[in-house]
């Protein structure tokens, strides 16, 4: 079962942001997260809050969520968006590549990739994507952070910079 092209009532198509808009939005989101998440926050609380605050400030975020390492594969964790696939093997998809390379992956056009191997299309509306590895306090791989847009080429080094900072500040301590 996967999401259909028809978007449910609670989800809207992405709206593009330029570099200046991104810088302002990420700075605001980072500040809100630092004020919100105290040392008592567990990882589920942190992930759910990151999804909510980033999706609030960045209108090109269509699907946003975490896949967590468990039993040698990625298993869906907290997310916002249409139905995400539950499990991803490490040799599949953009998420699998981010987990195995331990490097951020930016995809300008998801549909240009080999479907089912290089890219897994949980939702046909997703056209571009960024996936970042998530490291814990001991630099262990906790999983990946996956963001999709319904527009091509939504993500760039500005997203990479801010998201790597936010993830390190939140989970790396
Ligand atoms: N597109 C991802 C799969 C997760 S769905 O987008 C939520 C991938 O190719 O790994």
118-135 pLDDT tens trace: 999 999 999 999 999 999
Residue 92's pLDDT is what?
A: 98
Residue 150's pLDDT is what?
A: 98
Among 14, 62, 124, 129, which residue has the most ligand 1 atoms within 8 Å of its CB, making it the best to mutate?
A: 129
How many whole angstroms separate alpha carbon 127 and alpha carbon 150? 5
Q: Is the CB of 84 under 6 A from ligand 1?
A: yes
How does pLDDT run across 79-115, given as a tens digit for each residue? Answer: 999 999 999 999 999 999 999 999 999 999 999 999 9
How does pLDDT run across 1-42, given as a tens digit for each residue? Answer: 667 888 888 889 999 999 999 999 999 999 999 999 998 999
CA 168-35-143 angle, to 5 degrees, is: 30
Residue 1's pLDDT is what?
A: 62
3-class secondary structure, 32:
helix
How many whole angstroms separate alpha carbon 164 and alpha carbon 145? 10
Residue 173's pLDDT is what?
A: 75
Residue 103's pLDDT is what?
A: 98
- What is the fold of 19-171? Beta-Lactamase (3.30.450)
3-class secondary structure, 51:
helix
More confident of the two residues 173 and 69: 69
Average pLDDT in the chain: 96
| CB-based contact 102:133 (threshold 8 Å) | yes
Handedness of CA 129, 23, 101, 135 (dihedral sign): negative
Q: Is the CB of 97 under 6 A from ligand 1?
A: no
């Amino acid at each position: 079962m996967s999401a259909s092209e028809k978007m449910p009532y609670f989800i809207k198509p992405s709206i593009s942001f330029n570099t200046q808009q991104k810088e302002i939005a990420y700075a605001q989101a980072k500040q809100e997260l630092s004020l919100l998440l105290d040392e008592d926050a567990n990882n589920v609380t942190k992930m759910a809050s990151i999804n909510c605050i980033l999706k609030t400030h960045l209108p090109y975020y269509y699907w946003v969520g975490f896949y967590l390492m468990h039993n040698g594969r990625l298993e869906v964790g907290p997310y916002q968006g249409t139905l995400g696939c539950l499990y991803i093997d490490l040799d599949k998809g953009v998420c699998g590549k981010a987990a195995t390379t331990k490097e951020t992956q930016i995809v300008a056009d998801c549909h240009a990739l080999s479907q089912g191997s290089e890219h897994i299309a949980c939702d046909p509306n997703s056209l571009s994507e960024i996936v970042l590895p998530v490291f814990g306090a001991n630099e262990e791989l906790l999983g990946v952070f996956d963001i999709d847009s319904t527009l091509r080429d939504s993500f760039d080094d500005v997203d990479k910079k801010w998201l790597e900072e936010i993830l390190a500040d939140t989970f790396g301590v």
